[in-house]
Every structure is written in C-alpha cells, then in structure tokens.
Structure 1
Amino acid sequence: MDVLLVCASLVLTITITWLIAAFIARLVRSTEKNSSLKTPPGPPSWPLLGKLSLSSYTLPLKDSVEWSKKYGPVVSLKQGSVDIVILSDNQQIKETLSRPELQDRPTTWGLSSVQKGFSTFNGQKWKENRDFTMRALAKLGGGYEIMRQHIQFEAMHLADTLGSHHGRPVASFLYTHRSHINSICQFLLGYRYDLNDPRFAPLQEALCSFKLQTAAAPIEHRAAWLRRVLIEPLLPRCVSANRRRKISKLNIVLREFVERNNRTKSSGRATSYIELYMDKIREAKNPDEGYFTEDTLVGNMVDIMMGAATSGNFYLHWHLLNVASHPTTLQADLQQEIDTVVGSDRSPHWEDHTRMPLTMATIWEMFRWKLATPFNIPRAVKEDTNINGYDVGKGTVVFSNLMTAHRDRQLWENPDKFDPSRFLNADDKAKTTRPDGLLSFSVGRRTCPGENMAMVEMFLYLTTLLQQFRILAEDDKPIIITPFGPSPELIDTKLRFVRRTHKLQKKTLPISTGVIQPVCLSSFQQ
C-alpha cells in the first residue's frame, strides 16, 4: 500500500510540475509575441487549458458553425497549448490549403502518434511514399484501365449477391462495404474474396470500428509521455487509448497479409502493392532514411483501406438510401438515363459517364450535401503566414469546416436541399470534372490520391445497381437522411433489391486462394 501511495504521489508531483512548467512556458511565449500582430478572432479561452477542455478530442461542429457566424470565416482558439485556426469560407479554404507552407500534417494530430502511413508523414518521406503509391496504382491498373475492369467486376458481383436475396430486405451496408474492400484488396494484395467468405470478417471488423466523422478532427494537446504513463493506463477506455487499440488491430490484420505474401511470393512480375513495395524496400539506396520499411508499408495500407474502402462505402450507402427514399422521382429519372445510354444488354462502363449528366450531377451533389467527415484532415503551418489579413504563427493547426463551406449561399441556392440540378450544365452535357467549390477530396498537394478511382467506383456501383434493381425501403416508408451528422443508425437500415433485368451470363472472378471462382454476373459484357 505504501508503495502505491508513493507511486501515486510521484506521478501527481510530476504531473503538477509539468503543468506549471507548461503554463510558464506558455506565458513567456505569449509575452514575447509582437503586440502588433493581428491574430484571428475567436472565443475566449482559459489560460493553459484553452477553449477546448482537456477531455475534448474533437472539434465541436455546432459550436464551429456558430463561431463562424459570430467571428467570421477565420476563427482562432486553443486546445490546451495548441493554437488552432478554423476556416469556413469556401474560397478561403481553397486558397489557403494550396499554399506550400500548409502542406504538412501536425504532429499533434491524434493519428500521428499511432499511424505511420503517408497521411501522417511530412517532407521527403511523405513525397516519396505518396509518389510511389500513385505510380503503383498506375502500374498495377495498366493506366487505370485494368483497375476500372476490376471495379466493374466487383460491382457486378455485388449486384449478383444482392440479387440472391430475391427482393427480400437485406442490410446492404455489409455487402457494399465488403465489395469496396475487395476493390482495394485487388490492388493491395493481388486477389479478392467472395463477399460471403468468413475470412473477410477480421478485416471488415477492424475497418468498421472507425468513425470517419471524427477521424479527421482529434488533436492531442497533452505530452506523449503523459498520455502513455498516466492517462491511458488509468483510463483505458479514453479516446486516445481506444483509438490506439483500433489502429493497432487494423495494423495487425494488414501485417498478416504482408507476412503471408513474404512466405508465398513466387518469382516473377509483381502483381500487388505489397510486392511492389517489398521490391522497393530491397532496392532502397539508403535504408537508414526509413522512407520505405515494412512499418511504412503497413501504415500506407491502413491509409488506403480507411480512405477508399470506408469513406467510399459511406457515400454509396447514402446514395442507395436516397434513391430508395425517392423511388418514383430521383431513382426513376436515373434509371431512365441508364436505360437510354446503357440499355440492358451490357453493364455500364466508365466511358458512359460523359453521356450521363444526371447521374454525374447526382454523384457530385452527394459529395457536396453529405460529408464523411465535417472537418478535413488538419494541416500544420510550416512557417509564419497570413490568412485573410490575419497573422498565423508557425505550428498552428488549421482545420477546414467543410460543412459550412459546402453550404455557402454565395455558391449554391438553398444549400441544405439535395438538388442534383445545381450541377447540370446548360448544354445538357455531363460535368465530368470536379465542380468548383467541392472540397470533399481536399485541395493542394494533399489532395486525396484516390480521387479519380473514387469517382469510377461511385459511378459504376451506382449505375450497375440501378440498372438491375428497383431499390426500395424495407416497408416502403421514406428514409430520412439529414445532411448533418453521421446518421450511424442508418447503417443497419435494410433495403429491398427487386430485379429489373434477368439476363444472366457466367463469368469468373479470382479469389484469395488463387482459384478461379465461377460467379453469375448479370448482363455483363467486357
């Protein structure tokens, strides 16, 4: 008992000493600042604690919206000792995030301490890994054409799986998520799974544990040693400890794939991201730089899986819920366009998108109207800069409030309404490039590297399912989808997929064992 008391007293003394030292350092820094600096306005904050409490890990969305109304498009606040700036103006976000001094990730970002992929890297390490990933995607995808064919296969296989329920209610989120994971598995691993394969479970379970709605926002304002030594051991269910467990779980699952590849890889041309990356590790001129290691490989795989499989699936799920809620209006109009351009004798191809303006407008509008995360992944100010006339110091963490940016009334009329017509061109031609003002994929050099493939996925999945099915709510009642909030309760919503076409052809798809699996693919022609 005496030992425990001594240890507790020691920890308390160290903590208090650290807090006092941090307070003094903060006070000294603040007094050293040039009084002529014009800093952004913002809500008042407590000394040392800042505006956000020590228990807060995410930015409050509602408060952020109110702050932008009260203080303007550039708001400053503190979370502990961390300086934060929140941008809410659409044009200001685009201009600011394109600057070279805002291309880094903050070391205080919650995922930086637990995730070691290119999303958290800075400098040359980030550039090397991001560029390698882009080249690998192009190489494995044959200039993206092969990758498009893989996505087309997955969309058809998903349709076949949903069709096997013969119009009975099914929790489609499970299958659409697995299908998206498969699209990425083909790139990362070089093979895919059947959607009902039990080996899917560990990977899907690890991915499903993340809430994208808050993944972009957490900031760690405590010292790393304080979290590791005191907070997480005493509060094992706290946010940082929980996040560390989830990332570790996903890392373990993906590392098993790497180890399996190392055991079974045969000589010959690399057929997966893992094999290309392992070749890069072996060829590295200076291994001590640590740009390419098995740890960074696993970290990059985590980034790709979380970004592509999880966020992409949320958007597809919202599309399905939306058309199920409007079967005689939006869904019927989309199906008419699909029937006119594609017909029923073949499956949709990516090349069709240039002749399908309503479909493309609907996809763009969902990216605007519904957000996987209301805040973008944060940037760090690399050197003192000026934003909208305000002085912003080096090390400041910059967030963009996408919710307010995507509801800019100067850009869009009635922005709270889901209205694809806002993205229809006057000449009735499809809008094939990202419309001005859409920030879901970010801007600048940190733009999502998978943006192009995400668009291909969304188009092929949505058109394939609408071509083959009438998508209906379980009980024919409207499904209420709000543009605000994550709507997690909708994940378990069941939908009915009632066939519109019946022509079937036998095709084959590769599965994880390397065996070719016969799969019944509806109306598929290469």
Structure 2
Amino acid sequence: MIEKIDDVKGAPIALQDYLLTSTSNNISALVYGNRYPFDHPRRRFLDSLLSDLFRAIRAGSLVEFVPPFLLEVVSKLPSTRQTAIVSKLWDQQIKEHERTLDEHVNRDFIDGYLKKINESKADPNSNFKHNYLLGNLLSFFIAGSNTVAVTLQWHVLNLADKPDTVQSRIRREIDQVAGRERPPAWEDRNKMPYTMACIWEMYRWKTVSPLGVPRSAGEDTFFDNYYIPRGTTISPNVWAVHNDPTLWKEPSKFDPARFLREDGSLIQPKPEFLIPFSIGKRMCPGENLASVEIFLYLTSLVQKYRIIPEGDKIHGLDSIDIPLVELNKHKVRFVHR
C-alpha cells in the first residue's frame, strides 16, 4: 500500500481502495494461504462483494422482518445474492482444503479448523462445525478487512482534520518509541498510550458496525421476559452503548483523554462498555487481528507522512454519522516528512 501511495507523489487520493485491497490480502493470507496482486481480477471481485456485504450487515438485515411468503422475492435482492456468492466461494475453498489436508502441516486457518472438526467429531457439544467455520470466515473478513479499512479511513480523515493536535501528538509518540527508520511493532503499543487512546476513541466515536455482527440463538430461551426462539437473529445495538451519555461524557465529541489517566497512561483494563467487536462468547473472533492491523497501519502512515486535507478542512467529520458513500468522497494528501 505504501508503494501505491508513493506513486501518486502527494496528489489527493481517496484511500479506501488501497486500504481494502491491502487489508483483505492480509486476511486471505491468514485464511487461505494466498495473496493476490493489487489489480488481480479475483482480488477486485472479492473486495467488491465484501464491501457490498459489509454495507448490508452494517445497516442491519431487513430480510429478518420479511414474511415467509416474500422470501422468494428477497432471494433476488443484490445483498442476498452477494452473501450466497461469498458463501459459495468459501465453501469451494473449504472443500479444496479438505481434499488436500495434511495432518502434519497447517497451511492456514482453514487447515487448523478442519483438524479441530475431525478431532471433535465424537463430541456432540463441540463448537467446531462446518457451518461455524463459514461464520468465522465471515467474521475474519468483515472485522479484519472491511472494518479495519473503514476504521482507518476515519482515522486518516481525523488526522487530516487535526494535524497540529491529534496527528502531531501521535507522531511524537512514534518518534520517541520507534524513531523514524524502524517500522512500528505491535509491542510498541505499551509505550504509546495516546495513540492507543485515539484508537479506542475512534472505535467509540465512529462505530463502524453499529449493530455488530448478527448472531443466531442456538436454542429456545427467555431473556428479560422476552421469548427468543431458536434460530432468531440477534443484533446487539453497539452504537447505542457507545453514544450513551450516562456512560460517556459528551459522546458526540472525539476525546481520547477519556481513556487516559491524569499521568497520561492508558486506563486498564479497557472499559467494559467499549464493545466495537461485540461481547460474550460469540464476540467477533477477528478482534485481535483487527486491533493489530489498525495499530500498525495507523502508526506506519503517521511515521512516514504528514496527512493533510485536499482543501482547507475535512467538512462534516463531526456529524453523527456519514454514509460510507460520502466518507469515500473525502480525499487527503500524503506528504513525505
């Protein structure tokens, strides 16, 4: 991605295509063991599908509220077809991995998961199942590519909007900890409290998945006097938690200091009501990977470049929510330090 940014020599760019291709390649390598060139047709096709699927999940699925007699109509909607196409592609990958599985070699995540399925076949309560594998792949790609890419877009626009405050303070931490030559490492986060506070605050301020990743009730259950039948889709209202004024002072304001102690250190543990990856046993399995990616991308960009807006200012950044199509219209310039 850095090479692509350098190629434009400081000209204004919309970063989303660069980010999504780079982050989805990381997930492809982890899950499939494959990377694709920037302009590879399969890479472009998958990125397009995942972007559309992410938008559908982000908005919440209207399919859940459609009466059964209209489901045939719903099956023809673009988002439904895209989900089916992505599932088919992943199913093909899984079958190919099953055909070539070597018990002595773990090529990627799918290999490791398939071995766990084989090991636990005799256990009726095992959580390692074929359909769960498909769900985990969805979580990895959504959290590790689309969510990371959109979150980083927000960070880049915010840095361009606040070059003399947020951006300069993050850069000072990077220079003090990693210098200007050594690439930042994940271990550096423990010495960069302000940078981590900015990452946490962006999770809260611009909740990328306001209704989280939908889950399904595994059995009939009651919760708070509500009957929830088996198979019911559950969507946690993450946005409401992140914007609750009883939990956060001035929730509409970007304020990393809310995660810092008076001495400048990062508060620990992370507040329990900061839940960008949902909560509970079925919280997004891509959380750790996404956290590493966001930290490394953000610090690498700030270490190498001054990030400035195309014009005088980034307009509309403080609005409660900006549609992704509008977010993608904003351009910034990356100028070498």
Q: Secondary structure at the match of 1:441?
A: coil
Distance 1:474 1:429, change over 3 A: same
- SS of residue paired to 2:151: helix
**Is 1:383 matched up with 2:226?**
no
1:207 to 23, 31, 50: 50
Structure 2 residue aligned with 1:407, among 229, 238, 243? 243
Using the size of structure 1 for normalisation, the TM-score is 0.56
The alpha-carbon distance between structure 1 residues 443 and 290, as it changes in their structure 2 partners (threshold 3 A), is closer
1:307 counterpart residue number: 143
1:249 aligned to 2:85?
A: yes
> Which of the residues 227, 240, 250 maps onto 1:393?
227
* Aligned counterparts, 1:288-327, within 5 A: 297-327=133-163
AA aligned opposite 1:220: E
Is the aligned partner of 1:276 residue 2:112?
Answer: yes
CA distance in 1, matches of 2:202, 2:33: 31
TM-score (norm: length of structure 2): 0.85
Distance in 2 between residues matched to 1:363 and 1:422, nearest whole Å: 12
Secondary structure (helix, strand or coil) at the match of 2:221 reads: coil
- Structure 1 411/260 Cα, relative in aligned 2: closer, same or farther at 3 Å? same
User: What's the counterpart of residue 164 of structure 1?
Assistant: 7
Structure 2 SS opposite 1:480: coil
Inter-CA distance 177–436: structure 2 relative to 1 (3 Å threshold): same
In the superposition, relative to structure 1, how do residues 264 and 399 fare at CA in structure 2: closer, same or farther (>3 Å)?
Answer: closer
Find out whether 1:191 has 2:34 as its counterpart.
yes
Distance in 1 (CA, whole Å) between partners of 2:248 and 2:66 is 40
Matched, 1:338 2:182: no
* C-alpha distance in structure 2 between counterparts of 1:215 and 1:355, whole Å: 37
Residue number in structure 2 paired with 1:16:
none
Query: Is residue 360–residue 432 contact of structure 1 (8 Å, CA) maintained in 2?
Result: no
CA distance in structure 2 between the partners assigned to 1:407 and 1:303 by the alignment = 24
Unaligned runs of 5+ in 2: none
Partner of 1:418: 254
For residues 129 and 215 of structure 2, the distance between their equivalents in structure 1, rounded to whole angstroms, comes to: 25
* Structure 1 residues 235-279: Cα deviation after superposition (integer angstroms, max 9, x where no partner): x4xxxx333201012123334444555676678512212222344
Structure 2 contact 136–285 (Cα < 8 Å) conserved = no
Shift of 1:420: 1.1
| Number of the residue aligned with 1:461 | 297
Q: Is the 8 A contact 1:366 1:418 kept in 2?
A: yes
The alpha carbon displacement at 1:384 in A equals: 3.0
Structure 1 227/288 Cα, relative in aligned 2: closer, same or farther at 3 Å? farther
AA in 2 matched with 1:497: F
Q: Secondary structure at the match of 1:364?
A: helix
Aligned to 1:345, what secondary structure does the other structure show? Answer: coil
Give per-residue Cα distances to partners, 1:297-341, cap 9 Å, x unaligned: 444323321232111211111101111122222211211221122
1-side partners of 2:151 and 2:268: how far apart? Answer: 18
Code of the residue aligned with 1:205 in structure 2: it is S
**TM-superposed deviation, 1:364:** 0.7
Contact persistence 1:173–1:492 (CA under 8 A): no
Contact 1:361/1:420 (<8 A) preserved: yes
Amino acid at match of 1:353: R
Contact 2:305/2:335 (8 A) holds in 1? yes
Is 2:282 the partner of 1:446?
Answer: yes
- Cα–Cα, structure 1 residues 371 and 363, in superposed 2: closer, same or farther, change >3 Å? same
* Counterpart position of 1:182: 25
1:394: how far off?
Answer: 4.1
Secondary structure at 1:318's aligned position in 2? Answer: helix
* Code of the aligned partner of 1:480: G
What whole-Å deviation, never above 9, does each CA across 1:421-442 have from its counterpart, x for those lacking one? Answer: 1111122223464224212222
Q: Percent identity?
A: 34
Q: Bigger radius of gyration, 1 or 2?
A: 1
2: distance between equivalents of 1:460 and 1:279?
31
From 302, 307, 330, give the equivalent of 1:471: 307
Q: Which runs of 5+ in 1 are unaligned?
A: 1-157, 501-526
3-state SS of 2:200 partner: helix
Amino acid at match of 1:392: Y
Q: For 2:334, give the aligned amino acid.
A: F
Kindly tell me: are residues 243 and 288 of structure 1, through their superposed partners in 2, closer, same or farther at Cα, counting changes over 3 Å? farther
Letter of the 1:346 partner, please give it.
Answer: R
- Mapped partners of 1:316, 1:191: distance in 2: 23
Gap change, CA 1:277 and 1:309, over 3 Å in 2:
same
Are residues 1:220 and 2:64 paired? yes
User: What is the deviation of 1:487?
Assistant: 3.9
Q: Which residue of 1 aligns with 2:186?
A: 350
How do 1:231-242 residues align onto structure 2 when only pairs under 5 Å count?
231-232=73-74, 236=76, 241-242=77-78
Preserved CA contact (<8 Å) 1:168 1:496: yes
Map of 1:28-43 to 2, 5 A cutoff?
none
Q: What code does the residue aligned with 1:463 have?
A: T
In 2, Cα distance between the equivalents of 1:205 and 1:347?
Answer: 30
Q: How far apart, in 2, do the equivalents of 1:294 and 1:392 lie?
A: 30
Amino acid at match of 2:221: E
Q: Aligned with 1:470: secondary structure? A: strand
